[in-house]
Chain A
Amino acid sequence: MGRAKLFGAGRYISCYLLLLPTYVLVSVFSFVPFIWAFSKSFYRYEVGGESEFIGFANYLEYFSDPTFGPSFYHMGFLTAFAVVVGIVVPLIVAKLIFSLRSEKLKHIYRLLFLAPIVVPRVAVLMIWRFMIYDDGGMINEFLRVLRLGEMATGWLFNPTTALWAVAFIGFPFASGIHILIFYAGLCNIPESVHEAALLDGATGARKFLTVDVPLVLSQIKLLVILTIISWVQGFEWILIVTQGFPGYKTMVPGLWMYYNAFSFQRMGYACSIGVILFLVILVLTVLNLRYFKSAESVQGVG
């Protein structure tokens, strides 16, 4: 009885019991690996080999690793690029769809923009690698048609173009999910706000920038966090399209962590990179939550 009180109310005990399996699974598959990785980051540990405690040596080695600076720069560049284009383009597209008068057309456009998500990500990346950026790919063939053949290059393997080529994968960046999220945000703006804006003489681009954008800040904040997490943690794009080539020109910390863990068998070292990435995500998320005003606060101020 006393224990039930401790949890708030006895009648909710069945709810807690129902939630328990989920918490156990989350602990086993999320928290335990994290704690394990954190502890192994202080060891020289090879897969299948012996462990040896080495304190902060893995961290210090990583800070002097020749890939450290460049890979964080690449990650930062790709993340910033993805955040900007992943917010701007879908928001504009969502606004355009939202502004359509015909409900049927709105439905069709939403469907059309959402349809490409059924194509597996790996397939999309392969298309970009082999059909668009390759020697005989669309870009080079197009240049040859224009008699600009000397500009043809291996876009993903040319040191000066590789990072930009990776960043442009996904062009024109009209992500269906992002569009839907923004569309939902725009639908949630009360009609009275639109009317008030009209009375104040705000129309077109001015209304979009001063009324719509501030009121979808919650959605922007959500997508910024998701994009940052996706690009800081994720490395599958790079693994599939360039493997970090040419040289380390497209290397990112996540991919270096993966190589160290499974190719170089330096699991302890890889764990230390993982912990650093975790801290980076944590800091960026906190900053985003703290300094990015939400729609609620904007409305509250209004």
Chain B
Amino acid sequence: MTAKRIFKNLTLLVILAIMVWALWPEREKEATAPQTGTEPGSQAESVREVKYEIRMVPGPYMPGTVPMNIGDPLEALQRVADEFERLYPDTKIEFVNVPSLREWLVTQLSSGKAPDILSVNVEDAWQDVHKGWYVPLDEFLEKPNPFVEDGDPGSEQWWDIFKYQAITRGKAAPDGKMYCIVLDMVETGIFYNKDIFRKLSLEVPTDWEEFVDLMKQLGEADYVPILLSLTRMYDWGLDLIFDQLYYSLLPGIDLKKDPIREEYMQGYLDWDELSFLFGKGFFTRDDMRFREIWRILKEWRDYANKNLQSEVLTKLFVTQKAAMYWDGSWMVQKFSKSPDIDFEWGVFYPPPIPSSYSEFADGHDMCVIGGAAAQYEITSSAIRDTGDIATSERLRRCVAFLQFLTKPRNAELVVNEVSYFLPNVKGTSPVEALLPFDEMLKRRYTTTKWVYTFDNRFLDVLRRMLMLYLDGSITIDEHLEWMEKNVASATSTVARRKELQLTDFEKRWKELEPYRKDMKGLPDGAR
């Protein structure tokens, strides 16, 4: 009986051991991870005294990750960090992955435990700059980048090193200060299946009417004409169509000429301007342009995939069930490297809306809505050595690393390791497949960015209601009612948080009255 029991237990033990052995990770896989501190010169690392341990969220360049599961694990940023650590032996750069949730970020920032360098859209940071969670970088940007050779861009002012100046400087916060370093650029585009276009004798559209006609023909040929997601609609679509319908009004409604940003932003409407304009009847049910935006988005949506929240859009494009796909330049990584793609593809930008399609449009080119991709902010965690921006050596190490990262050779190495984005540093070139996006980025900057202008509550209501409206669950009037309340709530919140003095705009509003005189379709209170 005892022997039987021993035999039974031994058998179980053997089975368990075999299972553990079978599931144990292979040695070769471990070896593919980027190695640190193994190169000549770094032997001293194990014994060096690390005084500044800097935690950085590298965003899309996280060493060891495999973008879209295509190619080898990334290692360029780790190599740059290793080189930096050799220059500053008392500094250690640690890359960390964090949840992309704003909820996580807010709790970390408020408790002073956030990583020293973050990668978030700077508009998110704008919401909280008055709380002292982020370090303004202007004083560093106005000084030379010490890693640049004399005479090269950036040797006088770090600012000059950036290739896409308008977009980069446009990332300054409405308080005029710059809280981020823009390493690279991204842009959106409509990817299309050239084989399907050829088969149906279709051409790339030159205006919105042709675009709608094109989608109609594709639908009739039993293709999903275009793949859209809800995110693309409320983030990119809204800004594009808004710019198409409101840009011509700017001479009469652009109330603020920002001395620093105006040269680059060209009439961009900030939250204070939008709040004031809302008080004059814009962005309400009485604003015909506002109504027109949603109508156009709805019509567009009707040519798209059934489920705007679908997780399988890429699959539909790859399997040639859909002819067009509106997405970002990061998809180039997939389309240019994936073995699943066995058709020719191209990319074009959404075409302008002519006046024949909408009485409020004038056919000007669609604006840029992409722009800055990886935006690195330095948080208040960086100054915890002295608690003072002026004296913190730790902060200077963080800045130095970002300066080192924006050195042309390093930026090109890191950014071009994946076919996602275009390096935003002079003296660098993007990978060839991304060149069409380089042309798109030369367009004028957007008139406003709705998603990033107000608080997250505004965004929450926007995306939820827009989805119901686009799917036909609520009418345009119901949607407008929600949006009017939403803008009202958002403008009052931003006015309270930022202590906005909107009455200052009254004088300028009166000065612009002659410009508005002949403008059609203005709300009643806006003359």
B 456-489 binary contact with A (CB < 8 Å = 1; else 0): 1100100011011001011000000010010000
Most chain A beta-carbon neighbours within 10 Å: one of B133, B309, B465: B309
Residues of B within 8 A of A66 (CB): 482, 485
Q: Is A182 an interface residue (CB 8 A)?
A: no
Query: CA–CA, A266 to B496, complex, Å?
Result: 13
Name the distance in Å between A274's Cβ and chain B's nearest Cβ. 16
Which residues in chain A, 146-199, are within 8 Å of chain B measured between CB atoms?
153-154, 157, 159
B468 touches A262 (CB 8 A): no
**Docked pose: A209 CA to B194 CA in angstroms:** 68
Given contacts A159-B471, A247-B464, A264-B456, contact A154 B309 (CB under 8 A): yes
Instruction: Pick the residue among B131, B460, B468 that contacts A159 (CB under 8 A).
Output: B468
* Contact mask for chain A residues 23-59; partner B; CB cutoff 8 A; 1 contact, 0 none: 0000000000000000000000011110000000000
Partner of B464, one of A130, A134, A153, A245: A245
Nearest-neighbour CB distance to chain B for A277, whole angstroms, equals 19
Chain B, residue nearest A50 (CB): B131
Tell which of A136, A244, A246, A265 touches B106, judged by Cβ atoms closer than 8 Å. Answer: A265
Q: Is the CB of A48 within 8 A of B109?
A: yes
Chain B CB within 8 A of A263 CB? yes
In the complex, residue of chain A having the shortest beta-carbon distance to the beta carbon of B460: A259
Q: Does A248 contact B (CB under 8 A)?
A: yes
Q: B439 an interface residue at 8 Å Cβ cutoff?
A: no
CA separation between A134 and B133, bound complex, in Å?
Answer: 39
CB of A246 within 8 A of CB of B110, answer no
How close is B400's CB to chain A, nearest CB, in angstroms?
28
Which residues of B are found within 8 Å of A157, using beta-carbon distances? Answer: 307-309, 467
Cβ of A135 under 8 Å from chain B: yes
Say if the beta carbon of B263 comes within 8 Å of chain A: no
A contact residues around B308 at 8 Å (CB)? 157
Mark interface residues in A237-274 (1 if CB within 8 Å of B CB, else 0).
00000001111100000000011101111100000000
- B464 engages A263 (CB within 8 Å): no
Q: Are B311 and A246 in contact (CB under 8 A)?
A: no
Residues of A contacting B473 in the complex (Cβ-Cβ under 8 angstroms): 159, 246-247
Q: Is the CB of B107 within 8 A of A262?
A: yes
- Knowing A134-B311, A259-B460, A263-B456 touch, does A48 contact B467 (C-beta < 8 A)? no
**B242 → chain A closest CB, angstroms:** 22
**Per-position 1/0 for B124-136, Cβ under 8 A of A:** 0000100101000
**Chain B residues near A263 (CB-CB < 8 A):** 102-103, 106, 456-457, 460
Q: How far is the CA of A259 from the CA of B306 in the complex (A)?
A: 28
Supposing A246-B473, A247-B473, A259-B460 touch, asked if A264 and B307 sit within 8 A by C-beta, the answer is: no
* Inter-chain contacts of B109 with A (CB < 8 A): 48
B468 adjacent to A48 (CB under 8 Å): no
B6: Cβ under 8 A from any A Cβ: no
Q: How large is the interface on B (under 10, 10 to 19, 20 to 34, 35 or more residues)?
A: 20 to 34
- Whether B138 sits at the interface, judged by CB under 8 Å, is no
B 297-315 to A, binary, CB cutoff 8 A, 1 in contact else 0: 0000000001111111001
B-chain residues with CB within 8 Å of residue A262 when the two chains form the complex: 102-103, 106-107
Using Cβ atoms and an 8 Å threshold, which residues of chain B touch A245?
A: 309, 464, 467
B460 contacts A48, CB within 8 Å?
no
B472 nearest CB neighbor, chain A only: A159
Most buried by B among A48, A134, A159, A260: A48
**A260 contacts which chain B residues (CB < 8 A)?**
457
A266-B457 contact given A48-B133, A159-B471, A159-B473, CB 8 Å threshold: yes
B485 to chain A: which residues have CB within 8 Å?
66
Kindly state the separation between the CA atoms of A244 and B464 in the bound complex, as whole angstroms.
9
Q: Is the CB of B311 within 8 A of A130?
A: yes
Instruction: State how many angstroms separate the Cβ of B366 from the closest Cβ of chain A.
Output: 29
Residues on B with C-beta less than 8 A from A154 are 306-307, 309-310
Identity of the chain B residue whose Cβ is nearest the Cβ of A266 in the assembled complex: B457
B455 within 8 A of A: yes
A263 to B467, CA, bound (A): 20
Given A245-B464, A247-B465, A264-B455, CB of A135 within 8 Å of CB of B311: yes
Q: Are B460 and A247 in contact (CB under 8 A)?
A: no
Query: Is A48 within 8 A of B131, CB to CB?
Result: yes
Report A-chain residues with C-beta under 8 Å of the C-beta of B468: 159, 246-247
B131 touches A49 (CB 8 A): yes
Measured between beta carbons, the chain B residues less than 8 angstroms from A159 are: 468, 471, 473
A48–B110 touching, CB < 8 Å: yes
Report B-chain residues with C-beta under 8 Å of the C-beta of A48. 106, 109-110, 128, 131, 133
Query: Is the Cβ of A135 less than 8 Å from the Cβ of B310?
Result: yes
Residue pair B107, A47 in contact (C-beta under 8 Å): yes
User: What distance in Å separates the Cβ of A57 from its nearest Cβ neighbour in chain B?
Assistant: 13
Considering the complex, give the chain A residue whose CB is closest to the CB of B132. A48
How far does the alpha carbon of A120 sit from the alpha carbon of B106 in the complex, in Å? 27
Q: Which residues of A contact B482 (CB under 8 A)?
A: 66
A258 and B107 alpha carbons, distance in the complex (Å)? 13
Of residues 279 through 317 on chain B, the ones whose CB sits less than 8 Å from some CB of chain A are 306-312, 315
User: In this complex, what residue of A is CB-closest to B455?
Assistant: A264
- Name which residue of chain A comes closest to B473, CB basis: A159
Question: Is the Cβ of B457 less than 8 Å from the Cβ of A247?
Answer: no
Listed A/B pairs (21) with beta-carbon separation below 8 Å: A46-B497, A48-B106, A48-B109, A66-B485, A134-B311, A134-B312, A135-B307, A135-B311, A135-B312, A136-B315, A154-B307, A157-B307, A245-B309, A245-B467, A246-B468, A246-B473, A248-B464, A259-B460, A263-B103, A263-B106, A266-B457
17 A-B pairs besides A154-B307, A263-B456 with CB distance below 8 A are: A47-B107, A48-B106, A66-B482, A130-B311, A134-B311, A135-B307, A136-B315, A157-B307, A157-B308, A157-B467, A246-B464, A247-B464, A248-B464, A262-B103, A262-B106, A262-B107, A263-B106
The residues of A with any CB-CB pair to B shorter than 8 Å are 46-49, 66, 130, 134-136, 153-154, 157, 159, 244-248, 258-260, 262-266
State the B residues within 8 Å of A (CB): 102-103, 106-107, 109-110, 128, 131, 133, 306-312, 315, 455-457, 460, 464-465, 467-468, 471, 473-474, 482, 485, 497
Kindly list the 5 A-B residue pairs having the minimum CB-CB distance in the complex, ordered from nearest: A262-B103, A154-B307, A247-B468, A48-B110, A48-B131
